[in-house]
């Protein structure tokens, strides 16, 4: 993602807000059950948050954008995870709540820290091209220098 710093900062702010919205929505619904499956909300939340993180990282080619989207998700989750003013808890300290918390954090870490293989490939290709040029220059016949004197001594 190339552009001016103002464009980058504004896009990072927008990605943080989008991540916070995803984090809020999926945290509220992570404990939902569907057709008797208590883990359905968790699975849908993981797919939604993981898909958003992958989309940002793969489409924008911006590690910082993906990281800020993930930090927005974590911030949204943390904001509503505590005890509310009425005493209600959205993310209880049970298996589902702990799995949700660590899964989101792990996805953010994995997507943000994943190496850019395209960049590694380009660097390897550049190094191979330089080595081939060097090898070709070393293997090329050297022009013979004219001797300062002739063979008969004149």
DSSP label of 34 = B
Which residue from 89, 81, 71, 82 is spatially nearest to 20, judged by alpha carbons? Answer: 71
Per-residue pLDDT, 49:
92
48 in Cβ contact with 114 (< 8 Å) = no
pLDDT in tens, the chain (154 residues): 456 888 889 999 999 999 999 998 888 887 776 677 777 888 888 999 999 999 999 898 888 999 999 999 999 988 888 777 887 777 778 888 888 889 999 999 999 888 877 777 788 888 888 888 887 777 766 666 655 555 555 5
Residues 6+ apart with CB under 8 A from 29: 41, 44, 45
Per-residue pLDDT, 18:
94
In whole angstroms, give the CA distance from residue 101 to residue 141: 66
Per-residue pLDDT, 127:
85
pTM given for the model: 0.72
């Amino acid at each position: 993602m190339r552009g001016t710093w103002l464009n980058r900062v504004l896009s990072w702010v927008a990605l943080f807000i989008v991540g916070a919205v995803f984090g809020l929505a999926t945290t509220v619904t992570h404990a939902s059950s569907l057709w008797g499956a208590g883990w359905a909300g968790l699975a849908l939340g993981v797919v939604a948050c993981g898909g958003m993180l992958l989309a940002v990282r793969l489409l924008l080619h911006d590690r910082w954008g993906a990281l800020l989207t993930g930090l927005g998700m974590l911030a949204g989750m943390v904001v509503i995870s505590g005890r509310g003013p009425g005493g209600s808890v959205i993310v209880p300290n049970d298996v589902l709540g702990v799995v949700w918390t660590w899964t989101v954090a792990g996805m953010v870490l994995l997507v943000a820290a994943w190496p850019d293989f395209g960049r590694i490939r380009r660097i390897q290709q550049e190094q191979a091209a330089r080595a081939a040029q060097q090898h070709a220059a070393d293997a090329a016949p050297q022009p013979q220098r004219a001797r300062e004197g002739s063979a008969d001594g004149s």
